[in-house]
Amino acid sequence: MDTIRLAIVGYGKIARDQHHPAIDANPAYRLSAVASRNAAVPGVAHFETLEALLKEGPTVDAVALCTPAGVRTAQARLAMSHGKHVMLEKPPGATLAEIETLREDAARSGVTLFASWHSRHAHCVAPARRWLSTRKIQRVDIVWKEDVREWHPGQAWIWQPGGMGVFDPGINALSIATAILPRPFHLIDAQLQVPGNCQTPIAASLDFVDGLKVPIHAEFDFRQVGTPPIWEIHVETDDGRLTLEAGGSRMRVDGELREEGPDAEYAGLYERFAGLIGRGQSDVDVSPFRHVADALMLGYRHPVDDFTE
């Protein structure tokens, strides 16, 4: 395929801040259309809905779905039924079961389906995976804390069923952990703090173990007010302590800086998407989403003060 003619569906904050710049910077793509009820891009064909784009718009080869998870599956099925490759923002859907439907649709339609996890493309994730592959892991601690008012302003959907609450950023940490740790792990305990006026947690404390009973603990919190966010993973091994900082863009071993890189996660996503399209493959890994589903199913819910923006 020559240049991939791409449409963005849902032009909100994440599309504006991350997807659009990554597309513009990659010569494999041309942004041919946007489908969004509330935003348009100068010089780019605009439609209020994906249906209108597919019926009336310019020909596109692929779509990037940046809409809320609750509507994404129907949009993905529609796009694939028209022969379009599909990138799904995280999480890939509202439920695990519907992702299996999408996987079947992609295979039947002969198109690429990409369930994207942008944090896996942070600069130091691959180096961390390589470093850990030759060491014996003894313990893992994940700390992912940020101010919801800064990172999700006015996004009331995040507190509704399917919005995931603090797991919206927490799933980023889980996407890194499932990428760098050498063995699968599973949840054994989850404590969730849920505001009285919300359906999803504002904080969570999780305990996992892997097949060798290595303990993995995670603390997620949306109430990191007045201080910088903390996005860190600490791994104790028989040969030192590895730390990923700044969401995976900085790596230390026993406190010594080993590697640091720019924020190019979405550039990595679009490079991956183009490669999958070129090879006629799909990538639909739901392991981070599965851990969130387990936490929401097994978690003990503790009521806390109502949340106000």
Residues classed as catalytic: 90
Phi then psi dihedrals of residue 284, to 5 deg: -130, 70
| Closest CA relative to residue 204, chosen from 222, 225, 183, 186 | 222
Q: Identify whether 182 is preceded by a cis peptide bond (ω within 30 of 0).
A: no
Give all strands of the β-sheet with 250-253 in edge-to-edge order: 256-260, 250-253, 240-245, 230-237, 137-145, 215-221, 203-210, 185-195, 300-304
**Residues 99 and 92 sit within 8 Å (Cβ to Cβ):** yes
How big is the CA angle at 22 (ends 243 and 165), to the nearest 5 degrees? 55
43: left (phi over 0), alpha (psi -120 to 50) or beta: left
Strands 256-260 and 250-253: antiparallel
254: left (phi over 0), alpha (psi -120 to 50) or beta: left
| Closest CA relative to residue 178, chosen from 284, 293, 287, 290 | 287
| Closest CA relative to residue 172, chosen from 264, 271, 267, 288 | 288
| Closest CA relative to residue 111, chosen from 132, 93, 85, 142 | 85
Q: How far is CA 45 from each of CA 41, 56, 57, 63, rounded to the nearest angstrom?
A: 8, 10, 7, 14
Residue 43 corresponds to which tokens in the numbers above?
């010089």
Residue 144 identity (one-letter amino acid): W
